[in-house]
Structure formats: C-alpha cells, structure tokens
Amino acid sequence: MTTNLSLLFYVRKQKNYDGGEAPIYLRLTVNGKRIEIATGRQCDPKRWNSKASRLSGSKEDVRSTNAYLNTLQEKVFGAHSELVRCGELITAESVKDKFKGRIENPKLLLGVIKEHNQRMEALVGTEYAPGTLNRYRVLESHTSSFLKAKFGASDLDIKKVDFAFVSDYEFYLRSVRKMSNNSVVRHMKMLRKIINICLNNNWIQVDPYSNFKGKYKKVDKAILTQTEIDLIADKKFVSERLAQVRDSFLFCCYTGLSYSDVHNLRPSDIVEGFDGQQWIFIRRVKTDQECNIPLLPEAKAIVDKYLENPVRVLKGNLLPVASNQKMNDFLKEIAVLCGISKSLT
C-alpha cells in the first residue's frame, strides 16, 4: 500500500505571545492526515526560516538545534521504513508511536477467535443458536492444534496470516482432521468471518482469502422409507438410552423438526389448534420463523410415553433429548441393530 509521508518543522507561537522564544514542533502528515509532535526545543521566531524549516545563522546554538532537528527527521523516516518493511499499517499515529518507541501488542489469531466466541456466547438464545457457538468452539480448538503442529506456537500474529497460511490450514483439516470436503468448506467459511473482522478493524490490510476458492459438493442424502421407519419404531432395545434416542429421532421424523428444535421443546409449546387437535406452536431455532405443526398420533404417543420421565421433568423439556454428539453416536448403533445401511443423523 502506497503512503505519502511529509515532515514539517515549525515554530508555534501561543495566542498571547508577546516576545521571547517559542517551541518548535514537528508536523507529521500521512495520506492527508497529520499529527504534531513537540521537539523539546525552542527558538526566537525571528531567527526561524520557514522555507528551510530550520534556524538561520551560523552560531553554535543554531547549528546544534538544526543538527538535532535533522536527527529527529532521520528517526521519523526510519520509523516509517521499519513499518513498511514489517507490513504494518501506516498512519500518522503509527509512525509517531514507532518513532517514540511505543510497542503495541499485536493482535493474535486465536485471541480474536476467542473474543468472537465470547461475544457470540453472550448472544446465544437471542441472535445465535447453541449449535452455532459450538461450531466456532471447534474452530478455536482446531486452530489451536494447527498452530502448535505448524508453528510450534500457542498463537500467531494476525498479520502473518496470508494465503499460504489459509492453504496450509485447509490441507491440515483434510489430511490430519480427515474432514469431508463440505465440512472443510464450512470450517474455512467460519475462519473467513474471523479474517473479515480483522480486515474491518484494519488489523490487517491484505485479504488472505482473495485467491482462495472453496466449493461445496452436492451430497445425495438417503431418505428413509416407511418400512425402515417402522422397523426402527418396532425394534426392542435392551438399553433404555438407545430407546430414548430412537424415540427422539422418530419424533423428528413425525414432526419434521430439527434436532435443535426438538431439544428446545417445552410442554407449553403444545396447544389446542383451531381444529380442536393438539399442535406444536414454536419459532424455529435456525430461521426464527413461526412454525405450526399438527401433533400426529405417532408423535403424541412418544410425548405421552415420557410424561413421567424424571430427566424430562427436571429439565422442563418435552422429551429427554440427548446431546447432538451422543444422538449421532447412538443412531449409528441403532442403524446397525436394525440392519439399515443408510446414515442416520
């Protein structure tokens, strides 16, 4: 990024100036924005040469002051060159800070992710679903592991995140984490959100994603037949936990609701509809849209089955729904026990 830097030394006379010496200031301008720095030197305004921005004369005190101003000028240009060399953001303020030796704590990638997740956690239930927060926590975990594996570091200056970093991170997810293509694309999309935060705050100037491409692959999802649903419903399980997971899964099938919607259902969400039958009146977690669903006999039978369940009663849920991870783990086992080759999630 090209920056226009200019320096000007000048004498600043106060409004009530009535003679004597006045302080010399340095005006630093970068891309039209300026900042002033006190030099710590004074002089008689009559001896100041505005065109040369130096004192006129050949006396020892004049030569000493001019030499000092020359030194300041060299240091300012040196600070600017160092910022350019390091790829830092060039502003009048940053040049001044570098010139004065002020060290700014760098923004760290994992730190930005953690701060993002803390903000998201505060908005769970209003703007974000718990599942969304969990995905960004996985991003935090995988990023931490990648930094240790690739750089042997616990964190990394965000300015060092370039196209090579993005490409290596994608390869890490595919090779080490064994993620599918679509999972990798979703993960890289979350990282891009973090990078956009850094770009918008001017913590970095070049977008490392500018030449990065990620494309979802179409996945043909197998649909359960009525025979397979009946097979799962009629299966007798020795494990009560398997039976509960099976019932939660079937409830999703009978209502068309997602896991997160069923997980959040309360008894108060079931009301009498216009037809005198029981309906589910909720706002969908993902879309935040109102949704009215008739409670079919099969779904009502599952609700009635768990009316006295202590876990359900204690938590106030409609059903004793397990965590998403446990649900998926148990559903794999259920598919095997039922002789179904399709993936149940």
Q: In sequence order, which ranges of 176-225 are alpha helices (DSSP H)?
A: 181-200
**339 is written with which tokens?**
């002789």
The 10s digit of each residue's pLDDT in 269-324 is: 888 888 888 888 887 776 777 888 888 899 899 988 888 888 888 888 888 888 88
Please state the rounded mean pLDDT for residues 220-231. Answer: 85
State both tokens at 317. Answer: 């849920």
Supply φ then ψ for residue 77, to 5 degrees: -65, -30
> How sure is the predictor about 151, in pLDDT bands with cuts at 50, 70 and 90?
confident
Place of tokens 């004597």: 20
Which range among 50-64, 139-153, 219-233, 280-294 shows the weakest confidence by mean pLDDT?
280-294
CA angle centred on 94, ends 155 and 50, rounded to 5°: 165
- pLDDT (mean) for 46-55: 92
Joined together, the tokens standing for residue 114 give: 């953690």
Average pLDDT estimate for 72-81: 91
pLDDT band at 2 (very low <50, low <70, confident <90, very high): low
Q: At residue 219, does pLDDT exceed 80?
A: no
Given the DSSP bridges, would you call strands 270-272 and 278-283 parallel, antiparallel or unpaired? antiparallel
Amino acid (1-letter code) at residue 298: E
Q: What string of DSSP letters covers 296-315?
A: -HHHHHHHHHTTT-HHHHHH
pLDDT in tens, 106-121: 789 999 999 999 999 9
CA 174/CA 36 separation, integer angstroms: 52
Q: pLDDT grade, residue 75 (50/70/90)? A: very high
Task: Label residue 104 by pLDDT band (50, 70, 90).
Answer: low
Tokens of 109: 């990638």
- How does residue 67 score in pLDDT terms, banded at 50, 70 and 90? very high
Q: How far is CA 208 from CA 161, 167, 192, 228, 334, in A?
A: 7, 9, 9, 47, 44
pLDDT of the residue at 118:
95
pLDDT above 90: percentage of residues in the chain = 35
Tokens 């926590």 sit on residue? 137
How far, CA to CA in Å, does 270 sit from each of 129, 264, 286, 309? 22, 13, 20, 18
Amino acid at site 148: K
Residue 169 has pLDDT above 90, yes or no: yes
- Give the pLDDT mean for 254-267: 87
* Contact yes or no for 258/339 (Cβ under 8 A): no
CA dist 239 and 337 (Å) reads 12
Residues contacting residue 24 through CB under 8 Å, at least 6 positions apart: 9, 10, 11, 12, 39, 41, 42, 43, 48, 65, 69
Is 80 exceeded by the pLDDT of residue 103?
no
Counting beta carbons within 10 angstroms of the beta carbon of residue 71, is it exposed (0 to 12), middle (13 to 18) or buried (19 or more)? Answer: exposed
Confidence of residue 70 (pLDDT cuts 50, 70, 90): very high
pLDDT of residue 188: 93
Decide if pLDDT at 176 tops 90.
Answer: yes
pLDDT digits 0-9 by tens, 125-147: 788 878 888 999 999 999 999 99
Average pLDDT of span 59-83: 91
Average pLDDT of span 223-232: 89
pLDDT in the model for residue 203: 86
Average pLDDT over residues 182-191: 92
Mean pLDDT of 217-234: 84
